[in-house]
Amino acid sequence: MRKYNEAINLALQVIGEQIIENDVSIEGIYEAEQADLLIENVKEELLSEGWTFNTDFNWSLAPDVEGYITVPADVIRVDTASNYIRKDGKLYDKDNQTYKFTSAVSCDIVWDLEFDVLPPIMQQYITLKASRILHQRLVGDADVLSILIQDERDALVRVKMHEEDIGDYNIFDNTTVSRVISRNVNPVGVRG
């Protein structure tokens, strides 16, 4: 919660408000409540994209004794190879129109993590983006806004570099690239 409180205070500083001590409640303080709301909204928006640090591949979800697969509350997105979706907090088979499963389902899961456990680089980006939005909505000074936009862009670049570094991505993992590399004839209609 410490980093989250620092994020709220940074957003407050951006709009020219006093920071709030850690032991003081933000309830009833409009600007702090707005900062809190924006940080949460931006966090969920960004985490829903699925990053290396909040995505698990081939995660097994098993049915309970009645055959239902409950999707954990902290899951933002669940993706399966079959036509299954999240509905009413459970996994739903659209093809067979049922919530009942007889075996575990392997899926890719995107988790909603608490702000304080996110990588510091993502915390910084979320804070800067939320601060920019807060400034835009409550103050709107164009000179400050242009600085905030640039800070946000720089932070996004750092987040993407971090993602590329820890994700160990490879150009050959891309289907389009591997198809071009492995082809043995020139496609019809392409001259060369």
Question: Are residues 101 and 19 part of one domain?
Answer: no
Percent of the chain, pLDDT > 90?
71
CA atoms within 13 A on the CB side of 136: 12
pLDDT of residue 3: 87
The answer to whether position 187 is within a domain reads no
Give the CA dihedral 75, 110, 120, 148, nearest 10 degrees: -100
Question: Which residues of the chain carry a pLDDT beneath 70?
Answer: 1, 169-192
pTM here is 0.80
The answer to whether position 191 is within a domain reads no
Question: Are residues 155 and 126 part of one domain?
Answer: yes
The answer to whether position 179 is within a domain reads no
The answer to whether position 189 is within a domain reads no
pLDDT of residue 49: 94
CA–CA separation, 133 vs 157, rounded Å? Answer: 18
Instruction: Look up the domain containing 73 and give its range.
Output: 54-111
Number of separate domains in the chain: 2
Question: Are residues 100 and 122 part of one domain?
Answer: no
Question: Are residues 107 and 58 part of one domain?
Answer: yes
| DSSP bridge pairs for 60 | 106
Secondary structure tally for the chain: helices H, strands E: 5, 5
| DSSP bridge pairs for 86 | 91
pLDDT of residue 79: 93
pLDDT of residue 14: 93
CA–CA separation, 179 vs 192, rounded Å? Answer: 18
The residues, any chain, with a CB within 8 Å of residue 154's CB and separated by 6 or more, are: none
The answer to whether position 180 is within a domain reads no
